[in-house]
Amino acid sequence: MRKVIYEFGQCDPKRCSGHRMVKYNKIQSLNLKSRFNGIVLAPNATQSISPADRELMERRGIGLIDCSWNQIDSFDFRKVNISSKNGRLLPFLVAANTINYGKPYKLNCVEALSAALYIVGEKEEAVGVFEGFSYGDEFLKLNKDLLEMYSQCANSLEVVKQQNEYLEKNRRK
């Protein structure tokens, strides 16, 4: 499956998982002006990734936007040449990376890529992208039940419904 990333250079390259994936040849860095018509994980998307995205991902690939969580509110997503209808959010998951460990939604690039692959049914590839990253097993362990639950949904609406039910149930504890 084709995997691409738009890098904005906002992170420390020594700690940036997106930069490391490019270095390890796990993902291709795209020029910001390059058009990409696959599924793109983007915080400004309007629907969640789901197993229904698998066919498009197999045909056109998956893309990431590598920008800093600290600068997300000021980020101009129009700089990236992607189809707005193919933007996807990730549902509730918990980070295992060393910078945002235990924080909900604060996944880094390799965690986001792995989660998306897992949710659409590419579980072996989801595990494989963590090669060279020490926290991969921890991420998959922390989120195993959620990833399994999301991967059983038919579409984005079901993923969001399952996420909301999970959050409501765990809010009461």
**Domain map of the chain by residue range?**
3-171
Q: Does residue 151 have a known ligand-binding role?
A: no
Asked if residue 142 has pLDDT above 90, the reply is yes
Looking at every residue in the chain, the average pLDDT score rounds to 87
pLDDT bucket at 173, cuts 50 / 70 / 90: low
Residue 18 banded pLDDT, cuts 50, 70, 90:
confident
Q: Which of 118, 124, 120 is nearest to 155 (CA)?
A: 120
Asked whether residue 150 is marked as a ligand-binding residue, the answer is no
Distance CA 44, CA 17 (A): 21
* pTM, two decimal places: 0.89
CA neighbor of 15 nearest in space, from 118, 134, 105: 134
Quick: pLDDT tens for 98-129. Answer: 889 999 999 999 999 999 999 999 999 999 99
Would the annotation count 39 as a binding residue? no
Q: 105: annotated binding-site residue?
A: yes
